[in-house]
Amino acid sequence: MHTSKNLLIVHHTQSGDTKKMTDAIIRGSEHKNLNIRSLSALKANSNDLLWSDGVLFGTPENFGYMSGAMKFFFDEIYYECLEKVSGKPYSVYIKAGNDGNGAKNSIEKIVSGLGLKKIQEPIIISGVLCESALIECEELGKLMAIGLTESIF
């Protein structure tokens, strides 16, 4: 007997690559027992995070950090979600020109403060977004879907 679970995907894109990664993640995570809410980081709020059983964050690296839109999301939700989202599984996907570590570190610092539980190291795609990168994103979606619906996380 499976009860349905809720996946939140919070994302931002400037020139479209992170959106393509988001679309691949959604393709991979589609599952009959999973409700998927995919929202721009400028629109998602604390209720969305509280609703979720698991969450994925997708951002480009801008100026050695997560995008301003993603930072806006964390600024908005932080105190409302603190101590209410501890243990929720999460992962991150990043599109960068270089190594993406600035975006990775900045997100990990905040989500570790929230007590989220990492299910997989961030996917960091640097340079051209190729088919294998999108397959990697699909796989992350699939992992999250199976982990949530089978109550593995």
Ligand X SMILES: Cc1cc2nc3c(=O)[nH]c(=O)nc-3n(C[C@H](O)[C@H](O)[C@H](O)COP(=O)(O)O)c2cc1C
**Candidates 23-31, 39-47, 62-70, 76-84 — which segment interacts with ligand X by CB under 6 A?**
62-70
**In 1-153, which residue ranges form alpha helices assigned H by DSSP?**
17-29, 46-51, 68-81, 101-114, 131-149
Q: Does 95 bind ligand X (CB under 6 A)?
A: yes
CA 78 to chain centre: 16
Q: Does 98 bind ligand X (CB under 6 A)?
A: yes
Phi-psi region of 17 (alpha: psi -120 to 50; beta: other; left: phi over 0): alpha
Determine which residue in the list 28, 60, 141, 147 makes contact with ligand X, applying CB under 6 A: 60
Q: How many residues bind ligand X (CB under 6 A)?
A: 16
Q: Give min distance, CB of 98 to ligand X, in A.
A: 4
* Dihedral angle over CA of 124, 129, 130, 132, nearest 10: 20
Does residue 91 sit in helix, strand or coil? strand
Q: Which is nearer to ligand X, 5 or 95 (CB)?
A: 95
Residue with tokens 């994103």: 137
Q: Does 132 bind ligand X (CB under 6 A)?
A: no
Q: Does 62 bind ligand X (CB under 6 A)?
A: yes
Q: Which is nearer to ligand X, 13 or 29 (CB)?
A: 13
Give the footprint of ligand X on this chain (CB under 6 A): 13-18, 60-64, 95-98, 100
